[in-house]
Structure formats: C-alpha cells, structure tokens
Structure 1
Amino acid sequence: MADDSALLNPVLEFLSGTLPFDSLASDRLVAIAAQIQICYHPQGELFDDDEEVGLRILRSGAVDLFHQDGSLMDRLGEGESFSLQGLNATNLQVSAKAIEDTLVYILPASAYQALRKEQRHFDRYFSAQRSRRLRRAARYEPVPHRMNAPIAGIMAKSLLTVAAATPIQHVAQLMSERRVSSAFITEGETLCGIVTDRDLRVRCVAKGLDVLEPISAIMTTDPKTLNAQATIFDVTLAMTQLGVHHIPVVSEDCLVGVVTTSDLMLAKQDDPVYLVTHIGRQDSVEAIATMVAQLPSLMVAWSSSGLKSQHVSRLLTAISDAVVIRLLQLAEVLYGPAPGPYCWLGFGSQGRGEQLLGADQDNGMVIDDSVPESQRDWYRDVAHYVCDGLARVGYRHCPGNIMAKNAQWRLSLQQWQETVARWTRTPTEDALMRVTIFFDIRGVYGDQSLAERLQQTMLSEAKGNTIFIAALAANALAATPPLGVFRRFIVEHDGEHKESVNIKKRGILPITDIARLHALAHGLPQVNTDERITALAKVGVLQIKTARNLSDALHTLQQARIDEQCRLITTGEAPSNYINPRALGTIGKEQLRDAFTIIKEAQSAIKLRYRSGLD
C-alpha cells in the first residue's frame, strides 16, 4: 500500500479519526497505514485466531465477541478494534463472529506489538479497553482550569494561633499587628475555632461584650476545614455554600494554612463566589434577575477553560441556592419572621447538586410539627413569593407543580413522613414518579434538622422494603439507552429534534436512577450521584471497576450535554438536552456508545440483583 496513494489516503483519513491512532504523529501514522491489510468477512463468518494477525480495526460492519461458554462478551462497531491473541492471553477461548458484512483493517502482529512498546498510551488503551476508554490520556482532556489546582499552592501559611483563654482585646491587637483578618484558636496542634474581623465587629463590638472576655466567647467552633490536597474548586464551592470568607486548611488533622477570598482573587465578576455574594446583597427580584442573566456566558467561560462537567453543575446549583436563600430573606422582611422552624427543600437536580441551565423548579417546605394550622398562612405567602420570584429570575415553574407554593408539598414533618410511608408501602406508578424526585432531597435554607429527619424517614422506609425496591428497579429499567442493533444510535425520526438523542432522558437520568436505587436499597444518605456511586463502591454494593465505569459514563454524557448547550448559547439559541450523534465525530460517537453500553450493563445487573421482586 505504500506506493498506492489511492488506497493509502482513505486508510490515513480513517485512522486519524480513530482511537488511539489519532494521537500518533503524522509520519508515524503514515508508516502504520502503509502496513494495513484489508479483509472482508461476510455475515456469520468466524474470525481465525491467527498469531500473525495483530489488531483488527472495524472499518464497517459489526462483530460479536463471545466467552468460552458462548455468552456475549462485547459487541463492536465501526472504529472499534480487537486482538484475539491479546484477549486469549487473559481470557481462554474468546471467539469473534461477524454479525453483518464487515470490512476489517488488519495491523500485523509485529507492527502492533512494536507500537504498543513504543507508545505507552497506546499500550494502556488496549490493556483495558472499555474500562479506560472514557478516561483518555491528557491529550484529550481540556486545558486544566485554575480551579482544579490544589489549594496548597495559594493558601496562607503564616497563621495567628492563640489559646482559648486569650482575651478578645489581645487577639484583636495581635491581628492588627500581623495585618491578618483571622485568628485560630488551637489546643496543641488541634484546631478548636476561628475568629475573623467580622466576628470582632458582630459578636463583640456590636453587642457591647467586654473585650477582656476570652476569645472562645466569640469564636466559631468546629469550622469547616479542607485538606491541603483539595482544589480551588472545592474551597470556592465551600465558601459559596457556607457564605464564609475563610476556610482553614488541615493536613492529618493539624492546621497548616488558611484560604481567604483575597487569596482567590475574587474581584472578578465571572467568579461564582463574587456572584453569590452580590446576589445576597440584592434587594429586589429584578436586581437578582440581572445577576442571574450572566449564567449562560459564565457557563461557556467555565466550560471552555476546562472546568469539569461535575464542577460546572455544582457551581450552577450553588448559585440557584443563593437565589433561593436571598428570595427567602426578602420574603422574611416582607412578611415578618416565621411563626416557627421550617426548612426549604430542594428536590431533583437541585437536591443532587446537578443543575444545568434551563432547569425548572422542584422544591417544597417542611414545617416543624409545633406550628399550628392557624399560623401556616405565613408559609403559604412566603412560598408563593419565592416560587414566583424564581420564575421571574429564570427558573421556570415546575410543569408538574412540584413546588412549595402547592399546599401538597408544603407540609409539617409528620405529614411529610406519613406521605413518604404511603409512597413506599403502596408503590403505585404515581408514587414511584414522586420518589424519583422527592427522595433526592437537600435542605437549602432554614432548620436543617427537619430535612435530615425527613431523609432518615425516607431511608428507613426504603431499606429492606423488597416490594418497593423491586418496583423502583422496574422504574429504573424503563428508560433504556438509545442503542439498537450493532450499537447504532436510536434517534428521533422527525420533528424539531430529528436525528437527535435526548441525552438527559436516555443517558444521564438512567445513571441517576441506578445510583438512587442502590443507595435507597442499602440506606445510604448520599444524594449527589457521584457521591452515591463512590459510597456504593466503598461499602461493596458496586465493584470498584463498575463504579468507575458508571462515573465515567455520567461525566462523558454530562460533558457532551454541556458542550452542546454552550454551542447553542454561543450561536444565540436556547440550551437543549438533545444531541445529534453524527455531529460528534468518530471519537465523540465512540465515547457516547461506550457510555450507553455501560448503562445497559448496569441495568442488566439491576434486573439480576432485584429479580426476585420483579418476577
């Protein structure tokens, strides 16, 4: 083939868009292409396990790989490759069969092995294809975003530490002399508390406290800390969620530094902490809406600079939380203080911390049982103010009316607990739909103990309830990945989204359903899907490899969704959850197929695990 450019050019073009050949230098790729042999296999033909055949690359068609017992091991399509010699080195008697007319490019064994020895990433790719296919070499990753850097590189290490009995006045003098905005109360090397400039103003001066009182009287005990290996994203999210400006940094439980908002250089309007801070200072719905209008351009900036998909969704959720909190604060000014304790609940994607643009509202209220019915008009008025305010800001009213303004989802703790018990003990289709939304629960504002007690009821009602779990499993199997025969995409055939796939409905939500099902079945409190998968692996419900594959599939699909939304935003179109697989290119399509295949395998495992209740 080396002398025949008419044959060589098509091979070069194909390999340049096929993993992992696309990463080879052009001269190396030409040399490889020149050694390629072409072979045709009609439908039904078995492949020979010839030691001279190194790597088979499917140019067109489809191939099934079988275990020794005849069970299906994998199904491969265009652009995918396999080596029977390599597979049989670790798996006895793997066989391959063409399940449709198939054209194969063959890279001889000598060239294939030489390439594996020469190119480390090439060898790693074929060492564990599927499990690593979605975790590409650094070449395929975006340029690292500054928020992925460890905080050890930006934290202040020269700290002011004092004993708990030190007088407030003396600590203030030391802070002034050292020109620092915080002091840390320690016992030995153990952190007991933190005092900031704001604490001195609010807890001491404003209240007329005697400055000779011990500093422990105004310190924040048990402050939120982060490990030195945490990222700038982690500290940004913590500051955003907690509304604080100082995060102590520890290593092996010893205080080693502090990160402040100044360290993060937050005097930029595209920083989420800056945005959240300013949302918290707005005094009208219209002013909040002006701030939130920046989100589309911010998401494009975050994504294009390399921020990971799971980080983008966590930040967008933190910003929507800030909007809810500010609206509730404004409502409390308008209607006065609450008659009794309550907690505003975020459900669904907000509860999981996985919101993207275009999300509608899923929220509710849990009210302390001590509040009589005669005093609950306050909660109704506040709920209407907040839900309508969210809609004006850009968070649409829920089409299913799952909002706190609906009296059905503005209940006392006891009423919520009774509702949850009814859903789990009589798992109707409607109840299961409710569970997939309401059981992803998080307290956004108010008395967190109410949200925690409600979640504990959910977990205790679900764990060990085989009928409910079986019904939930059937529900998790209802949305199948859009892969048909020969791993071809099943797309919309007509309408506005012709030739496209709803990647949220057919990919992301099935993973969410799988993680939720396992977590509820085993009483795990995590709500975020990534955290659920990690916890499931930790307790042995999922194998580590399975958990990593599910997590990789989730991130791949979420990143594809974000990329498409960013593309639409930059062209002036509304964000969508639909993706046209043909527009992704060879690598993108292969990653999508892998992700959908992983979901199929996870759904098959669910049916086996919970089949006693499904039969």
Structure 2
Amino acid sequence: MPNALLPNITQFLCNIDPFDKLPKELVREVASEIKITYLGKGDTIDPCGEQVGPVDDSQPHIEGESKKHKYLYVIRTGSMEQRQADGVLRARLGSEDLFGFTFLDDNVTSESGYHAVAMENTLLYLIPHATLERIFKTNPEYAEHFASQAQIRLKSALDVVWSNKEKGLFIKKVSDVASGVIAIVDASTSIKDVAHEMRIVKRSSTAVICDDGKLVGIITDRDMTKRVIAEGYDPSAPIKEVMTTAPLTVSPDDLVLHAASLMMQHNVRGLPVVSEGKVVGLLTTSHLVQNHRMQAIFLIEKIKYANSVRSLASFTTERQAIFEALVDGNVAPDIIGRVMSMIMDAYNRRLIQIAIDKLGEPPCKFSWIVAGSHARNEVHMLSDQDNALVLSDDATESDKVYFRHLSQYVANGLAACGYPLCPGKFMAATPKWCQPLSTWKHYYKKWVANPEYERLLNISVFLEIRCVYGEASYAEILRDELHVNIRANREFLGILTRDAINTQPPLGVFNKLVLEKTGENKKTLDIKKYAINLIIDLARIYGLAVECDSSNTEERFTRANERGMLSEDAYKNILNTYQYILMFRQHHQLEALKKGEEPDNHINPDSFGSFERGNLKDAFRIISSLQEAAKVRFAGRM
C-alpha cells in the first residue's frame, strides 16, 4: 500500500463496522496490506476470491501468488450485486458495505457460495484472509466480529448493554435525522434549472417535484446522469419527463429503522419526508451512518433473500437475540414492539413470495392482512399468528383452493420460524377467513349489528387489521366499512365496553395483589389478562369512537385525546401505565429467555420488591379508573 494512501484508507476503515471495534493500530496494520481493485460494470468476483478487472499496478506483486487467494472485500465507491450459484439475487451492496465473510470459510466452495457483479464502476479494497487470520491469532477477542457466520457476528454485537448513544436508530425518528434542506421544484421546471437548484442553491443530491403543491415525483443526481446526460436528453425539457413518479415517502414520526427498511426493500437512496401533505425534509442513505447498531435491518435483509422455510427458520436465534438486546438496552417498549413487528412482516412477505414461486402466480388480486398484536405493531416473543386473506370479488371456487394452499404453506412456515399457530384458528388457512371482499364486508355488518358472544369474539380479533402483502386498499375499505356500520349502530361501543370491563384489574381486599394458580400450582399474576388486554380493549373502544385509522394502542389514545374524548391527565396516565406494563412483561420474558426457559405472561410476585409492587398497584388503579370513565361515557349506548 502506498504510504500516501494509508492515512486515508485507515480513517475510512475506522468509521465502518466491524473495523470500528478494532484498536486503531490493528486497523492501520490491515490497511497497510490492502490491495485495490477497480471493476468495470459487469465485472465479477467469484466465491473462491478470484477477481476480474485490473488490480492497482502500484501494489507489490508476490511471485507465484495464486489468483484465488481469499479476501474480505470493502466497497469504497460504486455498487455490486451478490447472486447465488443459480442466479437468484442474494443482496445489493453500496459504498462502505462488506462482503466475503463466507469466503473466509474453508468449507465454502464455488458451488455453495455466490458471486458478486459490479453494477457500475466500482472501487474495492481487498483484505487478504491471511492478514486477518494472523491478527486474530494474536488478538482472538476480535475474531467474532469477522466470523463467517452472520449469526456469530450479530451475537457478538448484541452481548452488550446499549448506552443511550448506542441505541442509535432504534430510538430516533425520521425528524431527528432527516435534512430540512431540500430542493423543491415545480413539475414544469426545466431539467437544467433543477440541476442548478440541486447543485448550486441547495447542495442536495435529490430534488422533489411538485405539481400544484402536491408531491408527484423525485429526481437524484444519479438519475440526472443516467436519464439525461447518458441519453442526451434536452436540458430545456421539463423535469417531469425524466422524474421518478409516485415516490415512496415517510412521515417525521416514522422510525428511521422503518425508513431504512423501505430503502432496502425498494432499492432507493432517498425518501421525501411528508407531513400533512407537504414535503418538509429528505432522508437519504448518507443520513444512515454505518456505526449505528442496525441488527434488525440485517435480519430483515437476510429474510428477504432466504429461499426456503428451513433457511428462514435458522434465523430464529437472531430474532431472539435482537429482542434481548433491545430489552437489555432499555429501548422504549413501543419501539421494541414496532421493531419485532417489522421482522414478523418480513417473515410473512417472504413466505408468501416463496409460496407463489411454488404455486404459480395468484389467479386474482388479494390482500394478506394481519390482526391482533401484529396489526397493532406490538409484537412480542409470545405473539402467535392472526391473519386472513381478502380476495377480489371475482374470485372463483378454484381460486379459493389456490389461496388455501398458499395460506397453509405460509402458516406452517411461520410456525417453523417460531410464530405459533393461532389456537382459535384465526388464520388465512381456515376457509372462513379466506373470502372475497364482499363477504368480509358482510361479516363486519353482521358482527356490528348483532354482536353475540361468538361474533364479538370474531370481531375482537379483526377490529385491528393491517395489510402486509398485496392490495393494501382492501384493508382500508374494510376499516371504512367498520366505521360506517358503527356509526349506524352506536350501541355497539356500549357492548364492547361491557365486555371490556367484565375483567377487573387485580386489586382486592386490603389493597393486595390478586393472584391465581397456574398449572404448576404456583401463585402468579397474569400480566396479560389483568393489565395489557384491558388497556388494549380500552384503546380499541376510544379509537373506534373517534374513527381512528390506526390500530396501534398508543395512537388510538392519542387520537381520542386530540378529539377531546380523553382528558390530558387520563391520557398521560394510561400511556405511562401501558409503557410500564409492557416494559415489565418484556423484562420478565427476557429473564426467562436468558435462563433457557419458555417465556410467558405469568409473573411471580416473589421476583420483585416493594418498588415494583407499588408501581403495579398504581398502574392497576389507573386502568380501573379508565374502565369507569369508559363505562360512564359508552355504557349508556347499550
């Protein structure tokens, strides 16, 4: 390595994972032995480590050196695709990404590995396997960060308690990270003037295009190069002729983790931030610094490219490790639920895609909807499957047979991945819950008009729905149908309230906790039955009363507060209570996992002291108070 380049390369490596975990002197040692390779578009690196394309002539050549030495590859500039031996896409990589961990495993062959193809002119740093091997012999404590198995690398990063700083993207909202400096132009503006606005005025790599104040498109500097310069497009033409239409967007309150997942899923480098229909900022890949802990994103990416149920099931340990790290790091309980929901979303989508690959293209439009905690974005380690299929109204009986096969495959796949089958069979694999849109509309009308016990049980499951695959509009249509029917039968909320207050929080005589006996004859407190479910039921009632489109518990309370149906004191009390109860359960489940036990909802009071006991009593009193308020407000409608 030429001495002139060494400081620059060392600094570059020090800022990316996992080199940021090494002492600087070791990073400098690695940098000094790096080889530099320039790849043209289409050039390939094979699984045995042989690169195609010229190696920098300034590098010393060792006589007799094999072209098939193994390397760890670091992308300095450019982008690459990884493809399996059968051509299936494995991943897309950009600047600061690494690949070749599996190449460091002597058991990986060209048949079992993959190859990487340059998508554009790309500059690579090649780190010899021998260099890393030598360093880890004398410094074995750093070897796990470079292990060939991603699970080992991930676990090594998770075996820590995160500080507030290290929680990084898990606790940040888009508004905390996105730039407020953004080029906003009209659709009729010329390409030349847009380029000037981006380059000179705003110094932004991206511009958003609006028409009459409404976002209609987006353009990046890369788009300008590919669509304008390379194609010889007239720079005086309006920007709307070359823009990307209908761009993906995020809101200021979305998690950065969610935005990053969207970028990866759709292979985009920038997302406009939209609030109340107006563009207020821009989030780009440059905002997502590498040294943040984004294990959930890594797992979601691996799920996205898995090609079998067996492969997906192998990620269960990593999913548990992410949950443990989030709870150990005291990340907010609602964010833990959202992260775990994103992971469950990814499993659902990938299993549906694999099923379609096996069964053939779907015979009609459909929506795979999830319900319960999954729909509320409140997934935890005990969440089971609650889902359904909404088919287009032109679906035939033979179409239904196709979707029953698909739903059975997905249900069994989810079970293999650690998401149990629903005991009540509220799953798309049950014929009753695999129906055309018109049938689902009839269900909702019947349930609201005459909510007998069985129908009330059905609707309590499907009062929260969210589409994770297919026609998202079907879920929106059903939510609107629900609101219309409740408007026509306001007594329904009273019946829901009566059902919700049948179970009282566990406060008994002399203000002592009421306990119950489990199958093992131990006195325990069922935190789900006597606290969490009660809060969810109350949020559902208040949310439906104000026609809140969100199924999330906290967002329902927030909407009710904004509409004046829930006082500020009651709103703050119930939110704090919910967060505390969730945190309490998450830590209980964490302790069980650490002991190698099955997590549950049964809390042994002997495991906590007077501080926890006092807080629980306060929480139960707040729940009871809100139950009484709901009874007064809604019971008169019965």
TM-score over 0.5 (shorter chain): yes
Residue matched to 1:237: 258
Question: Please, which of 516, 526, 535 is the counterpart of residue 511 of structure 1?
Answer: 535
Query: After the TM superposition, which residues 466-545 of structure 1 pair with which residues of structure 2 at under 5 Å, given as runs?
Result: 466-493=490-517, 495-496=519-520, 498-545=522-569
SS in 1 for 2:362: coil
Question: Please, which of 164, 168, 172 is the counterpart of residue 146 of structure 1?
Answer: 168
Question: Please, which of 594, 597, 600 is the counterpart of residue 570 of structure 1?
Answer: 594
Contact 2:172 2:256 survives alignment (8 Å)? no
Q: Confirm whether residue 368 of structure 1 aligns to residue 379 of structure 2.
A: no
Measured after TM superposition, the shift of residue 142 of structure 1 is 8.3
SS in 1 for 2:495: helix
Measured after TM superposition, the shift of residue 470 of structure 1 is 2.4
SS in 2 for 1:226: coil
Q: Confirm whether residue 462 of structure 1 aligns to residue 483 of structure 2.
A: no
Provide the C-alpha distance between the structure 1 equivalents of 2:596 and 2:413, rounded to a whole number of angstroms. 25
CA shift digits 1:105-162 (9 cap, x unpaired): xxxxxxxxxxxxxxxxxxxxxxxxxxxxxxxxxxxx9846323346566445775666
CA 1:175 to 1:570, structure 2 compared with 1: closer, same or farther past 3 Å? farther
Question: Please, which of 232, 246, 249 is the counterpart of residue 224 of structure 1?
Answer: 249
**Which shows bigger deviation, 297-306 or 525-534?**
297-306
**Which shows bigger deviation, 214-223 or 181-190?**
181-190
Provide the C-alpha distance between the structure 1 equivalents of 2:535 and 2:577, rounded to a whole number of angstroms. 8
Residue matched to 2:287: 263
Measured after TM superposition, the shift of residue 271 of structure 1 is 2.5
CA shift digits 1:65-88 (9 cap, x unpaired): xxxxxxxxxxxxxxxxxxxxxxxx
Provide the C-alpha distance between the structure 1 equivalents of 2:283 and 2:300, rounded to a whole number of angstroms. 18
CA 1:489 to 1:419, structure 2 compared with 1: closer, same or farther past 3 Å? same
Query: Structure 1 stretches of 5 or more lacking a match?
Result: 1-140
Residue matched to 1:393: 417
Contact 1:162 1:184 survives alignment (8 Å)? yes
Measured after TM superposition, the shift of residue 253 of structure 1 is 7.9
CA 1:394 to 1:174, structure 2 compared with 1: closer, same or farther past 3 Å? farther
Measured after TM superposition, the shift of residue 410 of structure 1 is 0.4
Question: Please, which of 360, 368, 372 is the counterpart of residue 336 of structure 1?
Answer: 360
Provide the C-alpha distance between the structure 2 equivalents of 1:485 and 1:340, rounded to a whole number of angstroms. 59
CA shift digits 1:459-518 (9 cap, x unpaired): 221235244322211210122211112321111245337232111111011011011122
Provide the C-alpha distance between the structure 1 equivalents of 2:544 and 2:180, rounded to a whole number of angstroms. 42
CA 1:328 to 1:182, structure 2 compared with 1: closer, same or farther past 3 Å? farther
Provide the C-alpha distance between the structure 2 equivalents of 1:568 and 1:488, rounded to a whole number of angstroms. 26
Contact 1:497 1:578 survives alignment (8 Å)? no
Measured after TM superposition, the shift of residue 291 of structure 1 is 2.6
Provide the C-alpha distance between the structure 2 equivalents of 1:597 and 1:198, rounded to a whole number of angstroms. 58
Contact 2:299 2:319 survives alignment (8 Å)? no
What letter is aligned with 2:586? I
RMSD of Structure 2 on Structure 1 (CA): 3.5
Q: Confirm whether residue 430 of structure 1 aligns to residue 451 of structure 2.
A: no
Contact 1:402 1:409 survives alignment (8 Å)? yes
Q: Which runs of 4+ in 1 moved over 6 A?
A: 166-181, 187-190, 197-201, 250-254
Provide the C-alpha distance between the structure 1 equivalents of 2:433 and 2:212, rounded to a whole number of angstroms. 49
Provide the C-alpha distance between the structure 1 equivalents of 2:224 and 2:447, rounded to a whole number of angstroms. 50
What letter is aligned with 2:575? S
Residue matched to 1:136: none
Measured after TM superposition, the shift of residue 373 of structure 1 is 2.8
CA shift digits 1:388-429 (9 cap, x unpaired): 111111111111111001110001111111112221222111
Residue matched to 1:302: 326
* Relative contact order, higher structure (CA 8 A, sep 6+): 1
Q: Confirm whether residue 348 of structure 1 aligns to residue 372 of structure 2.
A: yes
Contact 1:246 1:259 survives alignment (8 Å)? yes
Query: After the TM superposition, which residues 179-198 of structure 1 pair with which residues of structure 2 at under 5 Å, given as runs?
Result: 182-185=206-209, 192-195=216-219
SS in 1 for 2:619: helix
**Which shows bigger deviation, 354-363 or 605-614?**
605-614
Measured after TM superposition, the shift of residue 262 of structure 1 is 4.6
SS in 1 for 2:305: coil
Measured after TM superposition, the shift of residue 352 of structure 1 is 0.9
Contact 2:498 2:635 survives alignment (8 Å)? no
Provide the C-alpha distance between the structure 2 equivalents of 1:236 and 1:430, rounded to a whole number of angstroms. 39
CA shift digits 1:501-544 (9 cap, x unpaired): 11111101101101112222343322111010000111111112
CA 1:186 to 1:412, structure 2 compared with 1: closer, same or farther past 3 Å? closer
Residue matched to 1:412: 436
What letter is aligned with 1:240? S
Measured after TM superposition, the shift of residue 612 of structure 1 is 3.0
Measured after TM superposition, the shift of residue 584 of structure 1 is 2.2
Contact 2:299 2:318 survives alignment (8 Å)? no
CA 1:603 to 1:161, structure 2 compared with 1: closer, same or farther past 3 Å? closer
Provide the C-alpha distance between the structure 1 equivalents of 2:541 and 2:176, rounded to a whole number of angstroms. 40
Contact 2:369 2:469 survives alignment (8 Å)? yes
Paired residues, number: 467
Contact 1:240 1:272 survives alignment (8 Å)? no
Provide the C-alpha distance between the structure 1 equivalents of 2:616 and 2:365, rounded to a whole number of angstroms. 47
CA 1:287 to 1:462, structure 2 compared with 1: closer, same or farther past 3 Å? same
Provide the C-alpha distance between the structure 1 equivalents of 2:339 and 2:214, rounded to a whole number of angstroms. 31
CA 1:196 to 1:284, structure 2 compared with 1: closer, same or farther past 3 Å? farther
Over the matched positions of the two proteins, sequence identity in percent amounts to: 31
SS in 2 for 1:247: strand
Residue matched to 1:8: none
Measured after TM superposition, the shift of residue 360 of structure 1 is 0.9
Provide the C-alpha distance between the structure 2 equivalents of 1:504 and 1:593, rounded to a whole number of angstroms. 15
CA 1:171 to 1:272, structure 2 compared with 1: closer, same or farther past 3 Å? farther
SS in 2 for 1:490: coil
Residue matched to 1:446: 470
CA 1:353 to 1:404, structure 2 compared with 1: closer, same or farther past 3 Å? same
Provide the C-alpha distance between the structure 2 equivalents of 1:174 and 1:285, rounded to a whole number of angstroms. 49
Residue matched to 2:52: none
What letter is aligned with 1:146? G
Measured after TM superposition, the shift of residue 316 of structure 1 is 0.4
Q: Normalized against structure 1, the TM-score is what? A: 0.68
Measured after TM superposition, the shift of residue 255 of structure 1 is 5.7
Residue matched to 1:84: none
Provide the C-alpha distance between the structure 1 equivalents of 2:429 and 2:222, rounded to a whole number of angstroms. 36
Q: Normalized against structure 2, the TM-score is what? A: 0.66
